[in-house]
């Protein structure tokens, strides 16, 4: 017999003799099975019809002692092994019960493990690696503009707030993107790099530079300067104003494949000679990998491109702010070894991660599971614990961000870099050579 475990109930009958020679068992089988006493005083079961004797409880007489009769989702034969099956499958010579769900989580785990060993299961076949073919992609680097027109309402008080809008003619919806806005600058620097998977040689690229108008700020300034009829001023303001535009063919773009090229903007305004500086080149990439599981993407790339080195890096953290939901921290900030953070921002942290906390590097000790809710935007918040005391007072709104590894700088055409989201493990970029 196997030795009993805390999670499997082995029922055997071992009873002291109590002057019982032959005890009939009540029930439908009382004419067949009787208890009898062995010479050493132990009791056993004897079948008068067949002449069979055995120590364990007969199958017909077995009554479950630990299984819930209300659990209709579990079949008795699934969670109970009769002596014959127990001997063949488990190597024990007694009735065996495997407790059902609801007793406790540890028993459920043991039950599932035992049941899996009693049934034949098919192993999941290994993943078949996919051979990937790279595509030629246009990589456009919008570097800067110079000499833009001042299109703001009150020249001298502030300047244009330019951004650049780019799209492929005939493919506007799938290709359109824009740079960030540079405030109050007639010579903005964007350094915006964009891959354009839908571009093919022969397409025409449209670039246009715009002044983003913040009408509310304009009206506020007009009020401060006591401009008459502010309401009519607000209604007449355009959303954004064109500062210049440019159409580029494939031949134009390839002029900047090796170095920066300045292009003169059309419609820049009377007497204005504004330029835009960019660099463009065609590069091999794998747009089909964006959104895939990073481990699968890395395997497929290594299989498809054995001569290239494939690297995976966690996507750089955009950063977040210190928060609070308790009045004392909302008023006075934090001064110990913890601070408040939005739950979704802290979800990417684990013990040992380094963070830049208001200009100082700290190591994360833990993140609390529970916290509070912001009274204004109803976002969940938690506490982040760090290894050292916060120097001084850390106010609500202070900046923090996770420090992530970065690849060596420069372009290396023998490598491909995958960036992935630490929570979803999905690739976040279009991988390219370099």
pLDDT tens digit sequence for 132-148: 999 999 999 999 999 99
* 3-state SS assignment for residue 79: helix
- How far apart (Å, rounded) are the C-alpha atoms in residues 248 and 256? 11
Residue length of the chain:
434
| Range with top average pLDDT, 46-55, 151-160, 293-302 | 293-302
* Per-residue pLDDT at 195: 93
Above pLDDT 90, what percent of the chain?
A: 52
Does residue 386 or residue 56 have the better pLDDT?
Answer: 386
Q: Which is higher by pLDDT, 178 or 104?
A: 178
Higher-pLDDT residue of 306 and 42 is 306
Give the pTM: 0.61
> Mean pLDDT of all residues in the chain?
79
Most confidently predicted of 13-27, 98-112, 117-131, 260-274:
260-274
Closest CA to 340 of 305, 299, 390, 293: 390
DSSP 88-128: HHHS-SSEEE---TTS-HHHHHHHHHHHHHHS--PPPPPPP
How large is the average pLDDT for residues 256-279? 91
Q: pLDDT (tens digit, 9 = 90+) per residue, 272-327?
A: 999 999 999 999 999 999 999 999 999 999 999 999 999 999 999 999 999 999 99
Q: What percent of the chain has pLDDT over 70?
A: 71
Q: Is 142 helix (H, G, I), strand (E, B) or coil?
A: strand
pLDDT at 174: 92
Task: Name which residue leads in pLDDT, 266 or 232.
Answer: 266
Over residues 338-343, mean pLDDT: 94
Per-residue pLDDT reduced to its tens digit, 62-114: 655 444 444 444 444 445 555 656 555 555 555 555 444 444 555 566 566 66
Between CA 407 and CA 102 the distance in angstroms is: 50
Of 30-39, 199-208, 319-328, 418-427, the range with the lowest mean pLDDT is 30-39
More confident residue, 14 or 233: 233
């Amino acid at each position: 017999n196997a030795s009993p475990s805390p999670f499997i109930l082995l029922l055997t009958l071992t009873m002291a003799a109590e002057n019982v020679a032959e005890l009939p068992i009540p029930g439908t089988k009382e004419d067949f099975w009787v208890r009898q006493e062995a010479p050493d005083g132990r009791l056993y079961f004897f079948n008068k019809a067949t002449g069979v004797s055995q120590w364990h409880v007969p199958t017909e007489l077995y009554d479950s002692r630990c299984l819930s009769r209300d659990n209709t989702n579990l079949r008795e034969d699934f969670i109970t092994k009769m002596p014959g099956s127990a001997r063949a499958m488990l190597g024990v010579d007694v009735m065996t019960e495997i407790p059902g769900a609801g007793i406790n989580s540890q028993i459920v785990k043991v039950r599932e493990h035992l049941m899996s060993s009693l049934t034949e299961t098919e192993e999941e076949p290994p993943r078949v690696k996919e051979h990937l073919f790279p595509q030629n992609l246009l990589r456009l680097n919008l570097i800067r503009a110079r000499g833009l027109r001042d299109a703001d309402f009150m020249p001298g008080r502030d300047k244009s707030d330019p951004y650049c809008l780019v799209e492929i003619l005939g493919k506007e919806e799938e290709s359109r993107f824009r740079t960030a806005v540079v405030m109050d600058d007639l010579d903005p620097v964007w350094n915006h790099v964009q891959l354009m998977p839908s571009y093919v040689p022969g397409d025409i690229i449209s670039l246009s530079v715009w002044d983003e108008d913040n009408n509310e700020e304009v009206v506020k300034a007009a009020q401060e300067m006591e401009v008459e009829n502010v309401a009519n001023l607000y209604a007449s303001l355009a959303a954004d104003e064109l500062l210049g535009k440019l159409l580029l063919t494939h031949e134009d773009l390839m002029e900047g494949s090796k170095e920066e090229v300045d292009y003169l903007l059309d419609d820049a305004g009377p007497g204005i000679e504004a330029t835009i500086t960019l660099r463009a080149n065609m590069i091999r990439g794998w747009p089909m990998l964006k959104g895939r599981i990073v481990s699968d993407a890395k395997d497929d790339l290594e299989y498809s491109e054995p001569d290239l080195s494939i690297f995976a890096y966690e996507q750089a953290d955009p950063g977040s702010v210190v928060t609070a939901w308790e009045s004392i921290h909302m008023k006075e900030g934090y001064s110990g070894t913890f601070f408040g953070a939005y739950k979704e921002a802290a979800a990417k942290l684990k013990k040992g991660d380094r963070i830049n906390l208001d200009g100082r590097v700290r190591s994360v000790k833990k993140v609390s599971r529970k916290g509070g809710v912001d009274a204004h935007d109803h976002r969940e918040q938690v506490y982040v614990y760090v290894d050292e005391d916060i120097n001084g007072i850390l106010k609500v709104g202070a900046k923090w961000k996770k420090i992530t590894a970065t690849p060596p700088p420069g372009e290396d055409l023998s490598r491909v870099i995958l960036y992935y989201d630490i929570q979803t493990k999905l690739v976040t970029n279009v991988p390219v050579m370099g």
